Chains A and B, each alone.
Chain A
């Protein structure tokens, strides 16, 4: 079994590495296809200045040579200089924004997992009661509604109509709404996932045995049932991180949080191409790693899963 697991991990790892390589390649060549280059703006500099700038950033070389250089730089963690923020490295800007986004994202992810598990377990335990029905209606709604719509509606309700929270993500208390709007959809998904796997588990023989032996109800639910019901949730952690990261792109715009999404947004409108490339590659790599980890964890935690 162990050699099978190792083989699976190696296979997934190779696929992940290839995916990251593919993402870098696609990003690079697709961005190179944009006509005009990054120095084209309203007040175009003279041809000499453009040529000098291109020589400085290595843009005068053949595209393939630029690609090899870019790959080599990436291996050293160098995403090149930002074009609109003169004198700043892309990687520094990304790290600066990511520090903010990662904190929010982590809180949102933890919130989603904890509340999602509790609500899902509740819905399963009180199956077919009004608690179950309310939870299911709400979670169905929140799974479907995109995070930026949730964010705008929350902004309208809690900042404009009833000014409880500040609309600006910079001040204290301003991060409450962005975190809630990021976590609502994954939370609802986890709730549904936990509910269905919990219902499945609660019908199994060993739960009846535990009950027959006189184990208290809370202990049966939390120790015997929930432990086995959480495994499907593990597979969702990877996609959830991806969802939260892309969701943060727009949620940060809505609440003016100075995170990575905000940088990404302004770099798209500013045509800061190295920044767009760097952020895309950075986020995509992160997502691939997260999906890989959650898939491998799932196989390790649940020995029943078929590895073939």
Chain B
């Protein structure tokens, strides 16, 4: 027997089952009113939309993408190397005509080869006092600065997040002691301590034979210093976030279901403060670049012959009257990188977390 789909099952007098006959079907017009007028958007998409409207941030993003493309791909096909002293070939007398070339000038042997009809890549920014191509040194310098900025920020991010979330979640005495430690580190004058530690680490660290050797002692000491001192700001921020999230009902629900502290922090709390984490990491990068260039400028940063924007500026100071452009190029490059990172970070903050605005 075919069952009528509209027929109701036999109603139990005591059940709360609804009587379908007392309802009427929705008309098409009413159904249309229920339709979504716009695609529902995720948190990330919404933020990106707001970021895309911010002209300054987009310009900065383009500048940064251009810089990143240049420093990744140009060294691949660039005919010169940052450490090769041009004009020095083994078994032949040194050709000193390569030293201190002005932009787009050539060394003597290169001029001869050009006369012979060869095509030689120009020295766009000339060469330095040791005959090294300056353009590639600036590119490598920018690469070092950005890499240091990125990795130092990641170190800060990891330490700060773990420390801040533990302190905020457990509260009470744990929080008190952990935050006193943060207060004390916070009150240390950071740059002075960094200079001091760099002086010492430059002398004491012995990296020979390890894979870290190629990075150089200066770079490693910068990372250590960041890991020791710079995470406190991030830890404070994360703790504040965790303290507010802790009051939410879903955390209580998770706890009453027997979730462990670590699970709650990882799966419920950190995903909810991800915007704060991203924004403060983005703003950490320029400050790390600032510190690196400051140290390199003082002669404490990356080790020779590796260039960094700070050390390039510092070297160029000696020949400022004859070769002012050699100082201007790294200085402008630092300005460009730091400024666009800062403005992009501000843009990210406005787009993803308007509450965080100072």
- A residues bordering B, Cβ < 8 Å? 15-16, 18-19, 22-23, 26-27, 30-31, 33-36, 140-141, 143-146, 148-149, 152-153, 155-156, 160-161, 167, 196, 242, 246, 249-250, 253-254, 265, 268-269, 276, 280, 283-284, 287-288, 291
Q: A146 with B196: in contact, given A19-B188, A23-B188, A283-B189 (CB under 8 Å)?
A: no
A149 touching B334 by the CB < 8 A rule? Answer: yes
20 additional A-B pairs beyond A27-B196, A153-B332, A250-B297, beta carbons within 8 Å, are A16-B187, A23-B189, A23-B193, A26-B196, A30-B200, A31-B200, A36-B203, A148-B293, A148-B294, A148-B297, A153-B328, A156-B324, A160-B321, A196-B358, A246-B189, A253-B317, A276-B199, A280-B195, A284-B188, A284-B193
**What are the residues of chain B within 8 A of A27 when measuring CB–CB?**
196
**What are the residues of chain B within 8 A of A242 when measuring CB–CB?**
189
Interface centre among A15, A149, A280, by most chain B C-beta atoms within 10 angstroms, is A149
Does B120 make an interface contact (CB < 8 A)?
A: no
Q: A269 with B335: in contact, given A283-B192, A284-B192 (CB under 8 Å)?
A: no
**Which B261-281 residues have C-beta < 8 A from chain A?**
none
- B residues bordering A, Cβ < 8 Å? 183-184, 187-189, 191-193, 195-197, 199-200, 203-204, 286, 290, 293-294, 297-300, 313, 317, 320-321, 324, 327-328, 331-332, 334-335, 338-339, 342-343, 358
**What are the residues of chain B within 8 A of A284 when measuring CB–CB?**
188-189, 192-193
B196 touching A152 by the CB < 8 A rule? Answer: no
**What are the residues of chain B within 8 A of A26 when measuring CB–CB?**
188, 193, 196
B343 touching A288 by the CB < 8 A rule? Answer: no
**What are the residues of chain A within 8 A of B196 when measuring CB–CB?**
26-27, 30-31, 276, 280
A246 touching B358 by the CB < 8 A rule? Answer: no
**What are the residues of chain B within 8 A of A196 when measuring CB–CB?**
358
Nearest chain B CB to A32 CB, angstrom units = 9
Q: A34 with B204: in contact, given A23-B188, A152-B327, A280-B195 (CB under 8 Å)?
A: yes
- Of B199, B324, B358, the residue contacting A161 (CB under 8 A) is B324
Bound: A253/B197 CA distance, A: 20
**What are the residues of chain B within 8 A of A143 when measuring CB–CB?**
342
